[in-house]
Amino acid sequence: MRHLLQQGEAAFVAVKAVTLLVAWCVLAVHARRDRETVMRCCSVTVLAYLCFWSAALAFG
């Protein structure tokens, strides 16, 4: 991440956007077969993300 930020904010945003787009495409394709599992994975991921951010704000 540091390397991308040194290249500029635009590079960081572009890589982040591509990463999110690829993840969204994979989830969208898999949701056609197993929507419940995709919804569960998304919920768990959001909870984990919130825990990491909360810990980072609290301790660091």
Whose tokens are 């590079």? That residue is: 11
The pLDDT score that the predictor gives to residue 12 is 87
Local confidence band at 28 (pLDDT 50, 70, 90 cut-offs): very high
Asked if residue 15 lies in contact with residue 4, where contact means CB atoms within 8 angstroms, the answer is yes
In this prediction, residues 46-52 reach a mean pLDDT of: 96
In the predicted model, what is the mean pLDDT of the chain? 92
Sequence spans of domains, the chain: 2-59
* Integer CA distances (angstroms), 28 to 10, 22, 44, 48, in order: 26, 10, 17, 21
pTM > 0.85: no
Residue with tokens 């540091």: 2
Tokens representing 5 are: 């930020």
Check pLDDT > 80 for residue 6: yes
Q: What is the pLDDT of residue 54?
A: 97
